[in-house]
Structure 1
Amino acid sequence: MSEDRERITQLEETVAYQAKTIEELSDQLAEQWKIVEQTRTKLDRLTERFLSLEEQSLDAPAITRPPHY
């Protein structure tokens, strides 16, 4: 009987440890997802800005050498 109690206690400790670990990993995953979303938003803004600048440069007159060259 004592052996069963020890075994049950050990199993309960293992389950509690695993539950704590899962919760910590879940929190870390949520934090990482937030960072990924922020990075994606920044990338989208930079892409739009780059495309806008690229468009403006196509509209600009070509760079030519001055006549005295």
Structure 2
Amino acid sequence: MPKENCLLVFAAGKQLDLLRGEASRLAKENKVDWWIDRVEAGTRFCFEGAKARDAFALTCDNLGISCREC
């Protein structure tokens, strides 16, 4: 799977559940698909569009959850 619109997120438990819901909402809003890959360093959230990825990054920042581009 392509990884150009992915963010590596450092969250667990309820924070991760919250982010899954936000990712789903943002993907639906932007009419793109999204998926999650568990990796050794965290969780990779990938979107089919850059606009959804950027909105998700902003959501992470607003919630105080650390993330970075893969």
TM-score (norm 2): 0.28
Structure with greater strand share of residues: 2
Between Structure 1 and Structure 2, which shows a larger proportion of helix residues? 1
Bigger radius of gyration among the two: 1
